[in-house]
Amino acid sequence: MERQRWKQEDAEARLSVHNKETQQRLLVVQREREAHEAFLREYEAHVADATQQAVSLEASIVADQANKLGARTKLKETKAFDLSGQMLATSGQTLPTLDKSRSRQAATRQS
């Protein structure tokens, strides 16, 4: 009978140790899960921030390209205007001369 009681106490002690180990493992798993979820939330926030920065950078690049295109278009128009002035100069008149002659004609008409 004492041997049976000793076996019962030993089994209960082992079960208690097993239960404590199981609780400890569950606690460790729960902490790992919480840490992983926190990591995922932080990563998602980082991805959202990086995406927003990329969109902002892309918008600034597009705006810069639009400005450059506008400047190139103005430069092209200026060159075309200069070329047309040179063409008139070869025919004997420059654009400023044309403007002066028109203003003289307008002045003589008014008087």
Instruction: List pLDDT tens digits, range 39-81.
Output: 999 999 999 999 999 999 999 999 999 999 999 998 888 877 7
Q: What is the pLDDT of residue 90?
A: 53
Residue 94 burial by CB count (10 A; 0-12/13-18/19+): exposed, middle or buried? middle
> What are 38's two structure tokens?
């926190």
Q: How far apart are CA 16 and CA 22, in angstroms?
A: 10
Please state which of the ranges 29-33, 79-83, 101-105 shows the lowest mean pLDDT: 101-105
Q: State residue 76's pLDDT score.
A: 85
CB 85 within 8 A of CB 94: yes
Alpha carbon distance 77, 72 (integer Å): 9
Which pTM value belongs to this model?
A: 0.49
pLDDT band at 109 (very low <50, low <70, confident <90, very high): low
Q: Is 39 helix (H, G, I), strand (E, B) or coil?
A: helix
- Residue with the bigger pLDDT between 82 and 92: it is 82
Specify the pLDDT at position 80.
Answer: 75
Task: Output the average pLDDT for the chain.
Answer: 84
pLDDT at 47: 97
pLDDT of residue 108: 61
How far is the CA of 47 from the CAs of 41, 56, 60, in angstroms?
Answer: 10, 14, 20
